[in-house]
Each structure stands twice: as structure tokens, then as C-alpha cells.
Structure 1
Amino acid sequence: LKPGSTIGQTFVANFAGLNGVELALSQTKEQDNQTATGVLTLHLRTSPTAKEDIATASFPFSQVPKSGFYRFIFTPQKDSLQKYYYFSLEVQGGFPIEVGRAPREVYLDGSSYRNENPYDESQLTFLLDYEPKSLVNGLLIQGVQWLWYLIIGFFLFILPGFAILLWSKVKIFDTKNVLISETSDKQNESKPTNILINTIIVIGLSAGISVALYPLLFLLTDLVGLHLGKAYAWTPGIAAIIYLLFLTYKKKLVLSFSSFKIKLSPSFIFHPEVVAFFVIVLIVFSRFWVIRNLEGAMWGDGYQHTVVLQLFLNNHGLFNSWLPFSNVDTFTYHFGFHSAAAVFAWLTGLKARFATLWTGQLLNILAIIAIYPMAIRISKNRWGGVFAITIAGLLTPMPMFYTNWGRYTQLAGQVILPIALVVTWGLLDKNRKLNWREIIITGIIWAGLGLSHYRVLIFGVLGILAYLITHLSWKTWKPLLVNLAKISFTSGILFLPWFIRVFSGNIMHLFSAQLIKLPSQNPTLAQSYINIGQIDTYLPYWVWLLMFIGIGTALWQRKRWAATLAVWVLLLFIAANPAWINLPGTNSLSNFAIFIAAYIPAAWFGGMLFADIALTIKPKWIVNPIITLLILVLAIYNAPNRIREIQPTQYAMLTRPDVLAGEWIQINTPPDSVFWINSLTAFVNARVGADGGWWLPLSANRLASVHPLNTDFEQPLPQTQKEMDSRLAELLQIQGQVDAPEVFELMNQRNITHIYIGQQHGTVNYNGTTLNPALFVQSNKYHLIYHQDAVWVFEVKP
């Protein structure tokens, strides 16, 4: 930094009360040998284009450290939470000074500036300081917001399922252990039904039922031409409240929550459900904390699911046309997550990009709690359930890592899957004729699972097959198969309208082709499905070991449900690798999809094994304190590790600079503009975006050259367009021939009017050559119309 010039940086304040910037400064050799008399001044503004300072800070040039951080203190900005700022540093008199800097990719929400112009190849090395009181107040405000989202989540994803659970009068647990529902006999119908509730079991069961319910509501109303919008969000929760009030008013229901019957005593903190709630609080915090500064869901999946959600919101329900994002006119993709995100968006008023994020994190939490009922069932000990959710929530990378990928549809299916298995197995275990309520609730769960994720539905079907393998006998085959047929028929009828609709898209064709294809017919693609990388990416080695020891123990001790789960795990791996037994269908179920779901059986078997070990501890009075201490230590130690799993610099496409660029583009470019963006080849011959340019249809209401990938499941792009895009990407991105006549011929055919280079410069999930802004600047055939932070927008001259 020389006298008469400025160096600056844009950034986003992550907390309230911004009151200082620390910069890495060092003296130059020239300064070492002379007496400095100048002043360093930092100017804080709302943006690089703003002319007015909102705060300043200065200090004498002579106080510059030889090497280190120096703090510029200014008036606290009490409302700085999540705000975008720009600071510039200038020298008045004195001598040059060195300012530390870092590579561009280490910080997403800004870039360095020289003389008020972006220098987007680097970031300044800086730290932000906050006034403690304002910082705490800001965190409290965020905490209230999180609590509000949890309340809405409870209204949407717990209450409806709880009411249905009570209505169905389903009893699937031993009364000596936990009683979910007990139906009074005919002689005592006038007496109220007493229900002792293990709170966490009920939350898990209710979550699975609720998440399964919403896609069914969207589908059934769509069949009769109704698109209810916000009524989808309000109706189930209000109906549930009315039903519960009705039961209470008629004195037909007396609820007794075990969690709230615990006596306040020194042993209170050692109660399993108290410990479980503490673990859940840590899980909630870890899931919410990591997304508070994100601008949208991450990776390609995050973008695609946000597009589908936006279409749900635009159409007030299900849709056929993908306009304005694509000309595709069918929708056959599984939509359980999107229906959940839509009702959450309608109640919170959040934009689609934020509703996708927050719904995904709520389902991440519920997917862990949904593990609890089965864990209790196979371990017959509450500590088994507590340890199971600790494993899945805080001791393993999955499902926390789903946030990096935006893999929310599979997550929605995995909220329902454990509940589908535990309820169905529990009912089939009864070896009697199921009543119509039991059949309906089970049908709802399975139909909702099918609508939420097709592959996870296969997981569930294999779970039923595993149950038949381990439970079918000459004495039980008739009622078992009859009950299973009734459940299958009910869920099939509910799913049938969507199954018919799926034939209008490309998904069924793709699945059929995969199902009949042998690995030898497509070895390259098959190998890509088989390769899984390092297994500790999915679970730590010790958790894998715990799972396999648990499987061995279950088989040795002949625990029937646990053995059934062991058979289920085996069937999953066979289904993903049918070549093991010389069967087709190698690509229909990927190893990746199974390995990222391995936290489910790992938690179940780990919890069971943990419970078995706990029973051997003597004397008995010391069991709960020892287990409590162990679980709390593991949970608290590993919670920061889970938070560190989230890596926006590697996976986030949409950043604050992209959002600001989108707002500018929406105002300053024609509505019919089409933007060429950074892209890469994925899944053999598809193209996907690699930075914030892919988000332009959402951030700027302008078309990008790369469509959402899931439109290929509906109607594949014409081969000629794929070839044009591939060739244009080769010329512009790989070869850098931005002035070649062929480039303009192809851009004219594709109606390309602008070039967009996002903050991440095409490096998300890609290490190859990307669009080079310097080449477009040097050409006289492009006009630079926007350059702020690391975002560049060029207009193609006619």
C-alpha cells in the first residue's frame, strides 16, 4: 500500500455489533530506515460503490507493527448481522506498507480491491471484531428465530403424524417397555384410553408419518385439480390440534408423557430421556449453526431442489411445466422433500433458497430421531436408543455431510424409512388380522416413502423381504402374507396415480434400462457406481467395527428383529452389487446411496451392543451415571467435528456476491437474456454448473446455459443441443478461443447474450480449466457491464 492509493476488501459480518477490523500489516525496508509521520485510515462503507463512510478509524503510521495484526476500532454497528460491507485502507503521508493477503478461494463473500477496483485473485488477510453486548443480543435474536423454526417444524412435521398415530391406535411396543397406544376392550369403551408415551419414540414415529403425509396431500388434491397453496401447510396441523382437543374434551384420551414424569432429584440428570434430549439439543445446534451464513443450499443438488421448490410455490402445488426454468412439460421426480419445504416456506415466508436449507436441516434432525424407535425395539433398553441417536447425530459424518451435497430428497426418505420398517414389522408380528386403521396408517407411510425417494423405497421393500426371510413359517405364513397383501394394496392404490404419471417422463425408461443391464455391458459406468472410496468417509472405522460386532452378536444371540436387520443389510449390498450373484441391474441401486445411509444400521446395531454392555455393569446403581458421563463426553467432544464437516468454500455455488450480481442483472439486463456459464461434464454426458451462474434463473430471473439436471429425468436435451453446448464449452472454457467465428455462430444458435463468471470461478467440484475473464476483457467483441468482487458479467456485442 503506497501513499495516494487504497487497498480494500468486501465482506459479510457474521454477527451483530461489528466494531473493528484487524489487518495483517508489516513495515517495508524503506520504512525501517526512516521516521514515519503519516496516518493510516480505514473507511467502512456499505458497498464498494458507496460514496459515504459509515465509520472510520485511524492511527499514526509510526505505530505500524514490524509484522502482525493491527486493530482498527470504530463505532459499533449494532445491526451488522449478515450485512455486506466494504472497507478501504489509505495512507496519508508516510511510506509504503505491506498488507497481508490470501488466495481468492479461501473466502466466499467478497474480494480484495485496489484503488476501488476489484482485484479478485486474492483476499486481504483480515479478522473482524464485534462489540460483546451487541454480539450476544444478535445471537439471542438468532436463537429466537431458530426456536420459531422449531415450533413451525413441530406444527408441520410432528403434530399431524401424532394425531394420525393416536387415531390409528397402533400398538407396536411391549407394554412393559414403552406403550404407544392401548385400545380399551369392548366392555370398557366408555373409559378413557390411557396412553403412556415415551416422548422421543413418539416424535420419531410422528415425524415419519407427517413427512409421508404431505406428498400424498399434494398428489391427491392435484388429481381433482386443486392446488391449495398455504392450505397445505395450515390444514394438517390445525386438524391435528382440533382432533386432540376433541379427544381431551370427550375425556376419551389421557396422555402421560414419560419425559415429564421424571422426578427432580439428584438422579434426574442420569435419566435416559434427559440425556437423549441433551444430545438432541446438541444435534439441533450443530445443524442450525452451520447454515446461518449460507446464501442457499449447496452443490448441484441444492440448486436443483430449490428450483423444484420454487415451482411448487409458483404453482401452489404440483406442476407439469418447468417454465420459466426449462421448456420441459412433465414432472415425475420424487417430491417428498419439496412438499415439506413448500409448506415450511409458506408458513415462514422464507425465499425458496432459504426454505430449502432450513427444511433440509430440520429433516436432518428428524432423520436421526426417527432411528430411536427401532433402536429401542431391538435393544429393549432406552440407553440403546440414546446411544443410537448419539452415533448418528454426532459421532459419524453422515447424515450431517448431506448438507454439503444438498442431498435432501434421500434424507426425506430416510425420515420415513425407519418408521415404515418398525411399524410394519410390529404389525406383522401380531400374527392376527389387522384392522382397517392399522392398514391405512401403514399404507400412508409406504406411499409417502415411495413419493419421497424411489431408491429409499427399494431399501424399504428389501426390509420387508428380510422380515419374510426371518419370520415366515408354516404356522404364520397365512396371516402374515394376507396382512402384507392388504398393506401393499393400500399403499399401491395411494401411489398408483403417481406411478402412472411416472411413465410420462424418462425416469422409468432409465430405471428399466439399468435393471436389465449387466455390468459387462457398461463397465465404465458400473465401476463408477461400485467405487466408493475410503469407507471412513461415511463412518469412522470404529463405528463400522461396532456395527459388524453388533450384527454378529444379534445372529449369535438369535435376536429376531436384530437378525432381520442383519439380513436387510446383506440384501442392500446384494441389490447394489447384483453381479456378485450374476444378476442384472448393476446401476439401479448405487453403493454410494447405501454407504451414505449406513449410519442407520450402524446406529441400530451400535445402540444394541451398547445396551447389552450396559446391562453387564455392576453394581446397578452406578450404571446410569457411567453411561451418562460417557455419552455426554462423546457428544460434546464430537459436536465441533460435525460442525467442521460443512465446507462452503468447497461446496457452495451461491455466494453473497452472486446474489448481489443477480439483483443487478435483474434490473439492468433484458428479461430474455441468456447467460453462458461455467460448467462441467457429469454422469457421462450431462452438463452441470460449477459456480453461482447456475443459480441465475433464481437469483436474477434470467436463463442460464445449463438447465437443472433433474429435467433430464423428464425429457433429455436434444442430442444436437448437447453437442453444441459441449463444443461451445470446449472453445470458450477449455481452449479460450473467445473470438473464434464458430463461437459466435454457436452462441447465436443458443441465443446466448451474456457471459457470467461467478464468485467461485467455476471451481465447485471441478479442477479443470474455467472461463477466463481476462480473455473477454481483451476482446473487442464483449463488453464488461458488471464487475464486483470476483463476479464478472460480459455482454456479447451484436
Structure 2
Amino acid sequence: MHHLTLTPGRRALLAGLLCAGAAALTNPLGRLCIIIPLLLIAPGYLVERAAPTSRLPALVRLALWMSLSLSLVALLYLWLSVARLPLSDPLLWGMAALLALASLAAAWRDLGPTPNPRLPTPDSRLLTPSLLLLAIFAITLWARLIQVEGLALPAWVDSVHHALMVRVAAETGMAPISLRPYLPVDDLPYHWGYHVFTATLMRLSGLRLPEAMIISGQILNALCGIAVAGMARYLWRRPIAGVGAAIAVGLISIMPAYYVSWGRYTQLCGLLMLPGLAIAWGEALRAGGRWRWAIAALLLAGLSLVHFRVLLFALALLAAQAAVWAAGQPLSVLRSCLLAALATGLGVAVITAPWIWLLARRALLPALASDGGLAGGGSYNALNAGLLWSRQNELLIAVGLLGAWLGLRRRVGAAAITLIWVALLAVEANPWLIVYLTPGAGALLLIWGLRRRSLPAGLAGVGLLLINPRTVALPYLWLITNDVLVISLFVPLGVLTGGAAALLYDALPSARRWPRATATITAAAALALAGWGAYDQRGVLNQNTVAATPADRAAITWAAANTPPDARFLVNSIGWLGPVKRGTDGGWWLLPLAGRWTTAPPVLYTYGSPDYVRYVQAIEAAVADYQPGQEQAILDLIASERITYIYLGAKGGALTPELFVGRPGFRTVYQEGGVTIIAVGDR
């Protein structure tokens, strides 16, 4: 009768079920609180639980579950799309119900009087760090939700095309590889793992698209601190490292909190997955086994669908982990591990073959055939010193360097792994650094070869010496820029800061003489630091990147209900990246939210045919370059493009209501909160 015994864990599970049932009956936001853990934790929990893996701390397992879940959702959509099998509502709800039942049954068994032997054994000494982490996460989540209070629509440029992709995924039940009927774009080579996850959340919870993006985005943002905490806990093998990392990432670092100002939801999702991948890779290196390598393959495959740049960051991290692990390993172990890693890579290629082929055909080959190829540089890749040293980054970098120094002194592998990883990231963003590093490596190899009288080593050393700044010039790569690297440094900085906290705590004399008092004082100090960080981040949302107001949201709702589906809207636009323009106000959101054609579509139009791209850019330029006295050019544009409505939002732009009001053929049909919609012709 053990399956009916009510242990404390099972009582907590039943209480959670009652709360979940009550939340599901309230509103879509309450249902979101159920769907988030169902999609973000349950799939990974079931897969990791079924694998014959070793005992890992609960925090580490949670980071692994989140990464696995995001990967599995993305891979499910990939192969359903390849099979042309939409994830219809009945199929989606059926799969969600089965997932819920399976995870509840597994949790009931694991929480019983005879728990799963692979689960970590509870340790009363870890109670304080666990409760402290829970409190830190609660503070972080509260801070993230306060930061978006009053935000009508997601901010900046990326959010607009993210919203369109989420809408397409929700409506079709497939990966948003085609953006029709909204944009004439097919075989879109843009990572979409985040979008199918958010679309699934939206469909199951009933939330509207803006809330699904904003609220779930802030929840994922808060969970980033927990994921990095799990990575720090795993690498440093100390619970306090997780606490320090959670505070650093969630409440001290300006990133990833500032991501909300840019709508960087896809990169955020990718970085949320990265710690779980590092944990899985570390376990595969340490203990081997088909299941461990298979989990690593699933995570790599899923990450390629969520964010390709973060995948490159992850490969650098895996290389750093492998390099530190390989030191001192016998040749036979290295050989078998290399074969397993190659098999893992082959498995990733097979799992994601349709996606890899699409990327190669639509992105890689055209880039190689272009004049510049993959080369980048210029101002686009310039290091933004203000971004690097913004807010509390000086403090975090100092504490991170302290953690690295302490770790190296004690020969802790986590410090070496993180430092090597950061160095490799710098090389990825600045490939020209290679030609400054190879001569030194060549000199060392040449000396070693001469001392050992090894001709191959000596020749290799000479070859490396020949690769130097005078003989080879390596360009930047457009795929990875210094700014993208800088805004991702919160992950290694969080790991190093967590290590510093753990090593400093261990060094306290009072930790051994008065452990309970020291733990209490440390917890109080950590909570005080977390509270200060939350207060400091309260204004993290940059109002200059917010284009839409609540009045715009109301106007878009009116337009969706009171204009025909084939309505064509003239909206304001302004320069952004070269010939690509962006909207200036809520009118830019008409396509993803109301399904209405606009003169400034989401920037994913650049993946359309060359003729279509030139067509859109000509229209956008005519609006963005408008100056007083060029009224006839705008009127000609309205006539040639069969414009039926003009949307002029609260944020304003080059076009104003005064340009049209009073002219024959223009009639104001909506005017609220600074938003004006003008009908053209007899409408």
C-alpha cells in the first residue's frame, strides 16, 4: 500500500494540484501558472528520470529539465512540420493531458516512502540554500513583473517579428517557416524554437498574444538566474555557489533584465538552455553512457532551433569543459570519449537535418556567394564600452575575477572552464585574435619539439609561427558581434560570482565554529543584497525603445474589429539598419496583432524575394524621408499603393494628422489618446 501513503512530499503535491485547479478556473493568467511548469519542466523531468543517470542535486536537475523541455518542444514541432502534420487543438490538448498525467504519476512515485534511488537524498544542511534560492527567485520574479507594469506591447524592433512568428505558429500548429498569408516569405531561415513554445503557451492558457510574450518572457528571464545557479552549483560542487549566481544574474547584473527593452526573447531562451547543456555535457564526459550522450545530443539539437548564436557560444563552452576534463586522462579514455562526441554530433545532424539543410540553402550558401561573404566588422561589431561597464557590471566583473583567482589557486576546474570559455567567446567575436595567439603557441610547441626531438611537433610549431598578423588577416564574422557577446557575459560572470561566494563562505572561520549563526547571517545578507538589486532594477525598461502605448493597443483592437481584412494602412517609419526601416508607433503592430497590411512590415520581409525587398524598402524610404513640402509625394504613394487607412500613433513620426485632415478624400474615423486613424476615399 506504499502507493497510497501520504508522505509530506505527496501532501505538498496534492496541495499544489488543488491550487492549480483553482488557478485554472480563474483566468488565462492563472492557467499560465499551470502551463509554464507543464511545458517547461515536465517533459525534461520525464526524460531525465527515465535515463539511468547519477544522482544530481535538485537545483542542477531543474536546470537540466528546463533545457530538455525547451529542446523537446522545438524538436516536436520540427518533425511535425516536416511530416506536414499540424498540431491541432485536439492533438495539443491530448498531448498536454498525457504529459500532465505521466508527470504527476512519476512525481507521486518519487515522493513516496520508497523514493527513486536515482533522486538526490535530502540533506538538512541544504535546507537553508534551498529556501534562500526560493526566496531569491520570488524576489527576482516580482522585480521582473514590476519592470513591465504598464507596458502595452513588447518593446523595440525584434518584438514585432517575434509576435508575427508566434501568431503564425499558433494559427498553423507548425513551425513558422512560412509567414504566409501575412508576408510573402517561405523557407524562413530564422530560429523559431522560442516562438513555438510561446505559441503553445498562448493556445493552452488562452492569453492574448502581447501578454503571452511579455509575461512568459519575464518568467523565463527570472528563471535564467535559476538556470545559471544550477550550472554554478554543478561546476563548483557547492550549494552556496548557486545562491551567489542566482543573486548575480537575477538581481545585480543589468543583463538579462534589460533584454525586455530590446525584445531579446529568442536569445534569452537560448541562454536559459545553455546551463542544462553544460550539465549534460559534463555528465557525459565524467561518466559516459549512451543515455548521457543522447541527452547532450537532444539539447544541442534543440538549441540549434532556438538560437544559432547561442549554439556557437555553447560549443565554445563544451570545448572548454572538454579541455579541462581531458587534462590527465589516459589516451584510451580520450579516444573513446572522442568517438562518443563524434557520434553525438552525427546524431544532432540527423535529428535536425531538415533545419540544417534549410539554413545552408537559405542563409549560409547565399552569404558565401555574396561580396562580403561571412565577413562583418565596422561599427556593427565595435565594442560598446558603455554597454560593457553599464550599471553594476564593474562590481560583477571584479567579483567574478576574484572568484576566478580563488578558484585557480585552489585548482577548481570551474574557474578554468569559465575563463577558457570567455576567452573562446572573445575569439568567436574577434577572429583576428587568433593570429596574435598562434605565434606564442607555435614558439612553445617548437621548443617542446626540439627538446623532445620530435620532428612533427617542431614542424607544427613552425607552421603556427607563420600564422601571424603580418602574414594573415582574419575578418570579423557578422554572425557574432562584440555587443552580442557583452550582453551574454552574465552567464560566465554569474558562475564566477557564485564561485567567489562559495569559496569566501568556506573561508569564514565562523562557518566551522558557529555554522548555524553564520548561515543565518549569510542568508540575511543575501536577502538584503537581493532586495537592493530589485530596487536598483526597478526602472530597467528603456522608455525610448517602447513604441506602443495603451492608446495604440486600443486603436489596434478597434482597427481589427472595424476595418476589412484587406485594408491597407499607411504608417510612420524611420531609419534603423541601413535600408531597413522600423515603425515609430503602434501602427507597426497592425500586421502581427490585427492581420492588416502596412507600409512598414516586420523586418523579416528581408527574407523575401529581392524584388519584394526592394518594393518594401522603396515605400518605407518614401515615408521615412518625408519633409514638409513633399506632400504630393505622399499623396501619390497613397494612390499608387491603394492605401485605405492611415494610422498615426501617439509616439508620432514624420507624418502627422495635419497633413491629411481637411483634405478632400480623407476622413478621421478614430481619434483617442493621441492616436488618429484616417480613412481614405469613401470608407
TM-score exceeds 0.5:
yes
Alignment-mate amino acid for residue 597 of structure 1: S
1:333-412 matches, cutoff 5 A:
333-412=190-269
* 1:455 equivalent in alignment to 2:309: yes
Per the TM alignment, residue 514 of structure 1 is displaced from its structure 2 partner at its CA by 9.7
Deviation at 1:239, TM superposition (A): 3.4
How is 1:600-619 mapped onto 2 (pairs within 5 angstroms)? 600-619=491-510
Task: Name the SS for the 2:105 alignment partner.
Answer: helix
Aligned-partner Cα distance in 1 for 2:117–2:565: 59
- Alignment partners' CA distance in 2, 1:147 and 1:246: 24
Within 1, Cα distance between the matches of 2:256 and 2:477? Answer: 25
Pairing of 1:34-113 with structure 2 (within 5 A):
none
Partners of 1:242 and 1:141 lie apart in 2 by 19
Helix, strand or coil at the partner of 1:363: helix
Mapped to 1, the partners of 2:375 and 2:189 lie a distance apart of 26
CA distance in 2, matches of 1:317, 1:369: 30
**Contact 2:572–2:624 (CA<8 Å) still a contact in 1?**
no
> Which residue matches 1:271?
128
Contact 2:24–2:31 (8 Å) recurs in 1: no
Letter of the 2:576 counterpart? A
1:790 aligns with 2:682: no
Aligned partner (choices 640, 661, 673) of residue 535 of structure 2:
640
Counterpart in the other structure of 1:624: 519
- Shift in alpha-carbon separation, 1:738–1:372, aligned structure 2, 3 A: same
Which residue is equivalent to 2:650? Answer: 759
Q: Deviations over 1:461-507 (max 9, x none)?
A: 11122234333355242022112112111122111111112245346
Structure 2 counterpart of 1:150: 33
- Whether the 8 Å contact between 1:738 and 1:776 is mirrored in structure 2 is no
The one of 57, 68, 71 equivalent to 1:209 is: 68
Matched, 1:737 2:629: yes
Q: Could you say which structure has the higher strand fraction?
A: 1
Residue in 2 aligned with 1:227?
86
Query: In structure 2, which of residues 354, 360, 378 is the aligned counterpart of residue 523 of structure 1?
Result: 378
Identity %: 23
Matched, 1:483 2:340: yes
Q: Is the 8 A contact 1:391 1:603 kept in 2?
A: yes
Mapped partners of 1:212, 1:538: distance in 2? 33
SS at match of 2:537: helix
Cα deviation, 1:426-464, whole Å, max 9, x if unaligned, reads 21123x5x22x2232221111001100010000011112
Secondary structure, in 3 states, of the residue corresponding to 1:355?
A: helix
Distance 1:708 1:611, change over 3 A: same
Asked whether 1:563 is paired with 2:416, we answer yes
* Displacement after TM superposition at 1:785 (Å): 2.8
- Structure 1 segment 176-255 matched on structure 2, within 5 A: 179-180=55-56, 198-230=57-89, 231-232=91-92, 235=95, 238-239=98-99, 241-242=101-102, 245=105, 254-255=115-116
Q: State how far apart, in whole Å, the 1-side matches of 2:209 and 2:93 are.
A: 15
* 2:280 corresponds to 1:423: yes
Given that residues 153 and 553 in structure 2 are in contact (C-alpha distance below 8 angstroms), is that contact kept between their aligned partners in structure 1? Answer: no
- The 1:691/1:223 distance shift into structure 2, 3 A limit, reads same
Structure 2 length normalisation: TM-score? 0.83
Q: Which amino acid aligns with 2:186?
A: D
Q: Secondary structure of the residue that 2:477 maps to in structure 1?
A: coil
* Residue of structure 2 in register with 1:88 after alignment: none
Give the Cα–Cα distance (whole angstroms) in 2 for the partners of residues 518 and 282 of structure 1: 43
Q: Is 2:46 the counterpart of 1:163?
A: yes
Counterpart for residue 656 of structure 2: 772
CA distance in 1, matches of 2:157, 2:71: 25
Shift of 1:778: 5.3
Matched, 1:747 2:607: no
Q: Does the 8 A contact of 2:579 with 2:617 survive in 1? A: no
- 2:481 alignment partner, one of 569, 590, 598: 590
Counterpart Cα distance in 1 of 2:605 and 2:613:
15
Letter in 1 for 2:677: V
Closer/same/farther in 2, CA of residues 753 and 340 from structure 1, 3 Å limit: same
CA deviations on 1:745-791 (whole Å, 9 max, x unpaired) are 333333333321112214xxxxxxx2222232254463333222211
Higher relative contact order (CA 8 A, sep 6+): 2
Give the number of aligned pairs: 613
Contact 1:736 1:771 in 2 (8 A): no
Change over 3 Å in CA distance of 1:716–1:256 after alignment to 2: farther
Render the CA deviation track for 1:519-550: whole Å, top value 9, x for unaligned: 6xx634444xx335342337521111112222
Contact 2:58 2:120 in 1 (8 A): yes
Partners of 2:169 and 2:175 within 8 A in 1:
yes
Partner of 2:439: none
Supply the RMSD in Å over aligned alpha carbons: 3.1
The structural deviation recorded for 1:634 is: 0.3
Q: How does 1:11-30 map to 2 (within 5 A)?
A: none
Alignment CA distance shift 1:592-1:257 (3 Å): same
Question: Taking structure 1 as reference, are residues 412 and 353 closer, same or farther at Cα in structure 2, changes over 3 Å only?
Answer: same
- Secondary structure (helix, strand or coil) at the match of 2:660 reads helix
Q: Which has the larger radius of gyration?
A: 1
Match for 1:441: what amino acid?
I
Q: Give the deviation of 1:283 after TM superposition.
A: 1.3
Hey, what does 1:76 align to over in structure 2? none
CA apart distance, 1:738? 5.2
CA distance in structure 2 between the partners assigned to 1:792 and 1:511 by the alignment: 46
* More helix, by proportion: 2
SS in 2 for 1:400: coil
1:233 positional shift: 6.2
Does 1:413 pair with 2:270? Answer: yes
Gaps of 5+ in 1: 1-139, 172-178, 181-197, 763-769
- Within 1, Cα distance between the matches of 2:206 and 2:52? 35
Distance 2:42 2:182 in 1: 35
- Report the counterpart of residue 471 of structure 1 in structure 2: 325
| Code of the aligned partner of 2:533 | N
Q: How far is 1:713 from its partner?
A: 3.6
The aligned counterpart of 1:445 is: 299
Give distance in 2, aligned partners of 1:511 and 1:656: 44
- Residues of 2 paired with 1:560 and 1:379: CA distance? 8
Residues 739 and 779 of structure 1 are in contact (CA less than 8 Å); yes or no, is this contact kept in structure 2? no
In the alignment, the residues of structure 2 paired with residue 313 and residue 253 of structure 1 have an alpha-carbon distance, to the nearest angstrom, of: 42
Classify 1:584/1:512 alpha carbon distance in 2 versus 1 (closer, same or farther; 3 Å).
farther
TM-score scaled by structure 1?
Answer: 0.71
Task: Report the CA distance shift for 1:361/1:507 in structure 2 as closer, same or farther (over 3 A).
Answer: farther
